[in-house]
Amino acid sequence: QVQLVESGGGLVQPGGSLRLSCAASGSIDRINIMGWYRQAPGKERELVATITNGGNTKNYADSVKGRFTISGDNVRKTTDLQMNSLKPEDTAVYYCYVNCRIGLIDRNYWGQGTQVTVSS
């Protein structure tokens, strides 16, 4: 069984910064992709950022490019999301995501979510 534990959400003023962290535990043979998604009230869950290929490939939603930075460590099975210049429209529940190899099968796992609120 794989578990993802997130931390770092909270309330911040517009223009401020937050750092989200996620740690995976369990019998993981290989991390394929780690990333972050978010879901605002009344909206569908959307991709924020992903990191693959041992950290050599990073992908960002257009709305966060230049403001958010994803990092990851496949050995420690962790990923962080540094969020700068936060805007009210970044308010959402942020979910950590992992696609990993267990035995012969690649599986998807999600964290429980952490609330990020950007408001003055």
C-alpha separations of 104 from 20, 35, 101, 107 in Å:
30, 22, 7, 10
Q: Percent of the chain at pLDDT above 70?
A: 99
pLDDT at residue 115 tops 90? yes
The β-bridge partners of 58 are 51
For residue 41, how many other CB atoms are within 10 A of its CB?
7
Q: What is the pLDDT of residues 52-95, one digit of tens each?
A: 977 779 999 999 999 999 999 988 999 999 999 999 999 999 99
- Residue 1: pLDDT band with limits 50, 70, 90: confident
- 78, 20 in Cβ contact below 8 A? no
